[in-house]
Amino acid sequence: MIKKHRLQRIAIVISVSFVAVLAILSIVAKIITGGRTGSKTEIQEYSLYDIDSPPVKEMLLTQNVNSRPGIALGSVNGIVIHYTANPGTDAEANRNYFESRKDEPDTNANKVSSHYIIGIDGTIIQCIPLNELAYASNNRNSDTISIECCHRGKKGKFSKSTYKSLVHLTAWLCGKYGLNRDSVIRHYDITGKMCPLYYVNNTQAWDKLKDDIWNYVLSHKKKDNKD
C-alpha cells in the first residue's frame, strides 16, 4: 500500500511538472511569436527612402456625400495625375469648387474631389486626408491617391512651379507607400479621358515627368541601402 501511495505521489509530481513545463513553453512561444509579429510590422513600415513631405496647405473639405464621403481608403496602389481643365484658376478656387458640392443634390455628377490640388504657383492644397477616398479617378478611387494640377493655358501644360511641386509630392507618396515608377498613372490610363490633357497629347512629356519623379525617389534612397 505504501509503495502504491509513493507511486501515486510520484505520478502526481510528474504530471504537475509536465503541465508547468507546458505552460512555461506556451508563454515563451507567445513571447517569441509576439516579437516576430512586431518585427514584421516594423519591416512593412520601414521606408527605403528619405523623402520629406513638401509643404502642404491643409484645407480639408467638410464631410459630405458628394466631395468628401468619409469612406476609408484601403491599400494605396497608385497615384493618379489630373489637370483641372479650368485654365488660369488657382488651387484654392478649385478646392472651393469641391467644397461647394456639399450644397448640391446627391448625384454622381456632383461627386468630384481630389486628395491634392497643386496651384500654378506651386502651392499644394490638401482637400482629403490620405486615409479617405476621393472622387477623382473612377474605378481606381478605392486604391489610389489623386492629384489635380492647375494650369495657365488650354493645352494644360503645367508651369515650372506646379511641375516641381508635383514631382516632389508624388515622389514622397511613392516612398511613403512603397510604390514604383509605373504606379504613377494618368486619369487617361484608367478611363481614356483626355486628362491631364498635355501629358496625354505628349507622350514624351509624360515619360519625362515619370522619369523626373522616379529619379527624385532614387536620389533619396537611404544611404545604407545604396548599392
Binding residues for Zn ion, per CB under 5 A?
A: 82, 187, 195
**206 half-sphere exposure, CB direction, 13 A CA radius:** 22
Is residue 130 exposed (0-12), middle (13-18) or buried (19+ Cβ within 10 Å)?
Answer: middle
Shortest distance in whole angstroms from residue 115 CB to Zn ion: 13
Shortest distance in whole angstroms from residue 112 CB to Zn ion: 10
Nearer to Zn ion, 76 or 134 (CB): 134
Shortest distance in whole angstroms from residue 202 CB to Zn ion: 16
On whether the CB atoms of residues 80 and 128 are closer than 8 A, the answer is no
Pairing verdict, β 116-118 and 144-149: parallel
Nearer to Zn ion, 68 or 82 (CB): 82
Shortest distance in whole angstroms from residue 84 CB to Zn ion: 9
Nearer to Zn ion, 91 or 195 (CB): 195
- Cα separation, 196 vs 225, in Å, equals 34
On whether the CB atoms of residues 172 and 51 are closer than 8 A, the answer is yes
Total H helices, total E strands in the chain: 6, 6
| Grid cell in block for residue 152 | 495657365
Nearer to Zn ion, 187 or 210 (CB): 187
- Cα separation, 163 vs 173, in Å, equals 15
Nearer to Zn ion, 80 or 167 (CB): 80
Shortest distance in whole angstroms from residue 89 CB to Zn ion: 15
Is residue 67 exposed (0-12), middle (13-18) or buried (19+ Cβ within 10 Å)?
Answer: buried
Nearer to Zn ion, 47 or 202 (CB): 202
Element (H, E) at 82: strand 78-83
